[in-house]
Amino acid sequence: MATTALITGITGQDGSYLTEFLLQRGYEVHGIVRRSSTLERSRLSHLYTDESVYNRRLFLHYADLMDPTTIRRIVRRVQPQEFYHLAGQSHVGLSFEIPESTADLTAMATLRILEILRDQPDPPRFLYAGSREIFGTAAASPQDETTPVNPNSPYGCAQAFAVQMTRIYREAHGFFCCNAICYNHESPRRAENFVTRKVTLSAARIRAGLQQTLHLGDLDAARDWGYAGDYVDAMWRMLQQDQADDYVLATGELHTIRDLLDIAFERVGLDWSQHVVTDPKFRRPADACAPVGNADRARRVLGWKPTRSFRSLIHMMVDADMERVSAS
Ligand code: NDP
């Protein structure tokens, strides 16, 4: 019989890759979607419109993270063996504007889901998509599973609560609960208000003559950027182990916004310095210590490693944006 998985955040970047990944492995996949004013679920539309998949091996259920009664009902009905909790307010910068809903959606919603699972006679294995933002201004670099939690944003603080709760439910209640402590991961499905996608889409639009300038903050800011498709593979591997544990997922490589601009604009044959305007509005406080991860545990225990280089990831994103721009 097919393994049944339930995914929150199925319409998001990671949720859509995870859905494809699990369907390829013969899973029955159930996803929680929230009501919105449009039915457009662009990252899932290729599956949603496939009659051999939708309502046969892929099922969508309406609920909201703020509606635990409905989530409880869905869990009872679906009885998943694996539960991937990927939904949340995922933007660090925005969390300063909307700290209360960030805490509700990221911290409290995770606790409520853990409580729902605690009431199940046979709780599913549980994966929480945590963030390296729990380390905030880390004292040392690279960070790993032993790095002290020290968040410096409302998002990081809410994430720290959810990650710690997940660990506590593992240790106190004996649940099979894992935290994926993820460094940034990107793809052509990344939302346009994240810097990688902002750059790749702008490069494509400037090439097509639809835009002249691109406004960015600190060009020397550096991140550890991986490919989202690799990260969902690791999340799945985490739930297939004999023992539940937490794992840092990272490439271990740092790249600056300048590197990102070099690769993206070279791909479209343009010089970024002719188009980029730096804008203090987009600046964040400087990183005291490089936000780069050490994924040795994931490599050793899960046999996981990133498959895509930073250059090929950015090429993939630029090429997809060029196609979108020329199709529009
Ligand atoms: P996205 O922002 O692409 O997806 C977020 C998902 O959460 C969407 O499906 C969204 O639904 C859903 N969601 C948001 N609010 C609610 C709500 N109230 N009720 C139900 N669903 C809701 O994030 P990613 O896929 O990139 O990331 C997945 C998770 O991993 C996130 O929690 C993120 O914080 C975490 N993470 C991601 C990293 C990254 O680099 N991508 C790094 C570290 C952690 P809708 O489509 O309707 O908006």
pLDDT tens, position by position, 60-90: 999 999 999 999 999 999 999 999 999 998 8
Predicted local confidence at residue 284, as pLDDT: 67
47 located within any domain: yes
Predicted local confidence at residue 38, as pLDDT: 72
140 located within any domain: yes
Task: Supply φ then ψ for residue 127, to 5 degrees.
Answer: -120, 125
Q: Is the domain of 166 the same as that of 278?
A: no
Structure tokens given for 135: 């380390």
Nearest ligand 1 atom, CA 64: 19
- Cα separation of 35 and 322, whole Å? 31
Q: Is the domain of 78 the same as that of 149?
A: yes
Burial grade of 169 (CB within 10 A; 0-12, 13-18, 19 or more): buried
Give the residue, out of 86, 133, 194, with the most ligand 1 atoms within 8 A of its beta carbon, to mutate for a pocket test: 86
Find the mean pLDDT for residues 85-113. 95
What residues are annotated to the active site?
131, 133, 155
Question: What is the 8 CA–ligand 1 centroid distance (Å)?
Answer: 8
pLDDT of 256-307, one tens digit each?
Answer: 999 999 999 999 999 999 999 998 777 666 666 789 999 999 999 999 999 9
Predicted local confidence at residue 211, as pLDDT: 97
- What's the chain's average pLDDT? 95
User: Higher pLDDT residue, 289 or 99?
Assistant: 99
Q: Is the domain of 74 the same as that of 92?
A: yes
Find the mean pLDDT for residues 211-233. 96
296 located within any domain: no
CATH number at residue 308: 3.90.25.10
Q: What is the pTM of this model?
A: 0.96
CATH number at residue 41: 3.40.50.720
Predicted local confidence at residue 134, as pLDDT: 97
Find the mean pLDDT for residues 120-138. 96
Q: Is the domain of 106 the same as that of 17?
A: yes
pLDDT of 318 over the 90 cut: yes
Question: What is the 12 CA–ligand 1 centroid distance (Å)?
Answer: 5
Question: What is the 223 CA–ligand 1 centroid distance (Å)?
Answer: 19
User: Higher pLDDT residue, 39 or 237?
Assistant: 237
Give the residue, out of 8, 14, 187, with the most ligand 1 atoms within 8 A of its beta carbon, to mutate for a pocket test: 14
- Bridge partners of 60, per DSSP, are 31
Predicted local confidence at residue 36, as pLDDT: 79
Predicted local confidence at residue 285, as pLDDT: 62
- Residue closest via CA to ligand 1's atom 44 equals 131
Q: Angle CA(300)–CA(303)–CA(306) in degrees, nearest 5?
A: 105
Nearest ligand 1 atom, CA 189: 3
CB of 34 shorter than 6 A to ligand 1: yes
38 located within any domain: yes
Q: Is the domain of 106 the same as that of 152?
A: yes
pLDDT of 166 over the 90 cut: yes
Q: Is the domain of 109 the same as that of 167?
A: yes
Q: Is the domain of 314 the same as that of 242?
A: no
Tell me how many domains the chain contains: 2
Q: Is the domain of 206 the same as that of 115?
A: no
Q: Is the domain of 161 the same as that of 208?
A: no
Name the residue among 123, 109, 45 with its Cα closest to residue 71. Answer: 109
46 located within any domain: yes
- Residue closest via CA to ligand 1's atom 36 equals 131
CB of 154 shorter than 6 A to ligand 1: no
Q: Give the range of the structural domain holding residue 210, as residue numbers without chain letter.
A: 195-223+254-291+301-327
Predicted local confidence at residue 286, as pLDDT: 61
Report the 3 state secondary structure along 64-104: CCCCHHHHHHHHHHHCCCEEEECCCCCCHHHHCCCHHHHHH
Q: Is the domain of 79 the same as that of 8?
A: yes
Give Cα 108 distance to the centre of its chain: 18
Burial grade of 120 (CB within 10 A; 0-12, 13-18, 19 or more): middle
- Cα separation of 285 and 282, whole Å? 10
Q: Is the domain of 162 the same as that of 210?
A: no
242 located within any domain: yes
Question: What is the 36 CA–ligand 1 centroid distance (Å)?
Answer: 15
Q: Is the domain of 269 the same as that of 134?
A: no
CB of 44 shorter than 6 A to ligand 1: no
pLDDT of 102 over the 90 cut: yes
Entry field: residues in the chain: 328
241 located within any domain: yes
- Residue closest via CA to ligand 1's atom 3 equals 12
